[in-house]
Structure 1
Amino acid sequence: MSEVEVIRARALDGVAHGFLGRRGGVSTGMVAGLNVGTGSADDPEAIAENRRRAGEAVIPGARLVTPYQVHSPDAVAVIAPFEERLRPRADALVTDRPGLALGILTADCAPVLLADRAAGVVGAAHAGWKGAVAGVTDSTIALMESLGAQRARIVAAVGPCIARASYEVDDGFFRGFVEVDPANERFFADGKPGHHQFDLEAYVAHRLAAAGVRTIETLGLDTYSDESRFYSFRRATHRGEPDYGRQIAIIGIS
């Protein structure tokens, strides 16, 4: 049995956290590995075991909680564990309570983990392009502040996500971002005619910095190109595969 791989960020040293990929799980087939996505067609028992392994690898004994992600800018404060059927429809969670493991699922979108060590407040955000441009990281920071955090003390790490070289978008996508802010043009590189390469990781880091976060670490890991290590929705789509796995990023107060 392979060991669960936990990728950690230096910016979050001393905080219980981890970005996980597909290594160390029990799922088989096209979602082989540590698939934690209940939205996949995977065996529910395998998903449950993978979630258990993921939580134990990062914060042993903590209760793993994840939202029902909808590509929104919404963040929710968690004060106690909630049942799977009662998951809030949101794309970020924050807490100041020990014993909780906040989890965010991704398969190309950017997972963002945040912490104010002095205040004992942590957050986890799912930043796909829709949530990122709508301000999911801004909402997460604001909610952390409501629990006593100070944005000047917050540190953040952007985990494995689709890289610019793998993220081809069309002119309509490009124009939408530039209409929001002409300066967003810098997050795109020229691609084939009528297309561009979008740097999601850099854009998310920019939003964090613009919100006043001073310490931001980007891991620079491409979910699309590293098949042995990560799941990727876009890779599965390009191959015409009927299903894809999801990885998880976890943070908590141990």
Structure 2
Amino acid sequence: MPSAESGLLIPDWDLPAGIGAAITTREGGVSLPPYEHNNLALHVADDAARVRFNRKRLWQQLPGVQGIQWLSQVHGTTVVKACGESVVPEADAQFSDRAGLACAILTADCLPVLFCAADGSQVAAAHAGWRGLAAGILLNTLATFPDPSQVRVYLGPAIGPDAFEVGPEVRKAFAWAPDHCFRAGCGDRVMADIYALARLQLLRAGVAEVAGGGFCTFSDERFYSYRRQSQTGRMASLIWIQT
């Protein structure tokens, strides 16, 4: 399991020297209910000044980071190169080979996925809800690396298989997936294991090992969860090449 440090979770993940990764929790910020306390999203109607304070505090906690690239996430399949400019790209994944620029993904039940080249030359971060996962956001992110077998991947906090009840359209979207990725729910509903789906997709694409998983944002109150409380904040999952 990851280690906790000042409201951050540091992934238990074999990273090359010079690469940093972190995941925020609800602890440590200044947002008020229902966003308490460390909301990092500007699009959820939280007070913008409080969110900016939380973002600045986060930046100050990250070693070797000069800036953070945020995205406007839309549950799509677009991957962009992090540029560090004030413009926030509309995309659901980003990659970088620039030292000091952290790639950030915001989530509150969806799956954050961190990528790193084995030689430390490139990093990436992706936001995978079930729609984006089915449409190929992780495969598109992986395609920014020259060799999938030399990419290390970490699955961050997402809704767990005991809480992720979905309709039959989701099972249909993953028709390729074996039955162990789903189990029966109520009526025509099914319980989906987004970790198993992502892991299987990545392994089939040539990734040698996928770390992480095993969280449940719905049941673990360290994390924000849209299903638990629809008006809520967002955590950040970040990866960067240190300066």
TM-score, normalised via structure 2 length? 0.92
Q: Aligned partners of 1:153, 1:176: CA distance in 2, in Å?
A: 28
What SS class does the counterpart of residue 148 from structure 2 fall into?
A: coil
Q: Aligned partners of 2:84, 2:211: CA distance in 1, in Å?
A: 29
Which residue matches 1:236? 229
Query: 1:92 and 2:84 equivalent?
Result: no
- Spell out the pairing of 1:66-77 with structure 2 (5 A cutoff): 66-77=70-81
Name the aligned partner's letter for residue 207 of structure 1: Q
TM-score, normalised via structure 1 length? 0.88
Q: Aligned partners of 1:176, 1:216: CA distance in 2, in Å?
A: 22
| Mean Cα deviation higher: 9-18 or 67-76 | 9-18
Q: Aligned partners of 2:132, 2:72: CA distance in 1, in Å?
A: 14
Q: Which runs of 5+ in 2 are unaligned?
A: none
Query: 1:166 and 2:160 equivalent?
Result: no
Which residue matches 1:63? 67
| Mean Cα deviation higher: 92-101 or 136-145 | 136-145
Q: Aligned partners of 1:9, 1:94: CA distance in 2, in Å?
A: 21
What SS class does the counterpart of residue 56 from structure 2 fall into?
A: helix
Verify the 8 A CA contact 1:55 1:101 in the aligned structure 2.
no
- Spell out the pairing of 1:5-84 with structure 2 (5 A cutoff): 5-12=8-15, 14=17, 15-78=19-82, 80-83=83-86
Query: 1:122 and 2:123 equivalent?
Result: yes
The alpha-carbon distance between structure 1 residues 113 and 44, as it changes in their structure 2 partners (threshold 3 A), is same
Query: 1:251 and 2:239 equivalent?
Result: yes
Verify the 8 A CA contact 1:17 1:59 in the aligned structure 2.
no
Give me the identity figure in percent. 33
Q: Which runs of 5+ in 1 are unaligned?
A: 238-242
Q: Aligned partners of 2:77, 2:24: CA distance in 1, in Å?
A: 23
RMSD: 1.7
Q: Aligned partners of 2:178, 2:71: CA distance in 1, in Å?
A: 29
> How far is 1:130 from its partner?
0.8
What SS class does the counterpart of residue 205 from structure 1 fall into?
A: helix
What SS class does the counterpart of residue 6 from structure 2 fall into?
A: coil
Which residue matches 1:185? 179
Q: Deviations over 1:18-47 (max 9, x none)?
A: 121211111111110110011111111110
What SS class does the counterpart of residue 38 from structure 1 fall into?
A: coil
> How far is 1:12 from its partner?
3.0
- Spell out the pairing of 1:101-120 with structure 2 (5 A cutoff): 101-118=102-119, 120=121
Q: Aligned partners of 2:49, 2:156: CA distance in 1, in Å?
A: 27
Q: Aligned partners of 2:155, 2:62: CA distance in 1, in Å?
A: 17
Name the aligned partner's letter for residue 126 of structure 1: H
Q: Aligned partners of 1:213, 1:68: CA distance in 2, in Å?
A: 27
Q: Deviations over 1:213-246 (max 9, x none)?
A: 112112311101112x000111113xxxxx2100
Which residue matches 2:210? 216
Count of aligned positions: 237
> How far is 1:57 from its partner?
2.3
Name the aligned partner's letter for residue 36 of structure 2: A
What SS class does the counterpart of residue 40 from structure 2 fall into?
A: coil
> How far is 1:89 from its partner?
1.1
Verify the 8 A CA contact 1:9 1:219 in the aligned structure 2.
no
Greater helix fraction, Structure 1 or Structure 2: 1
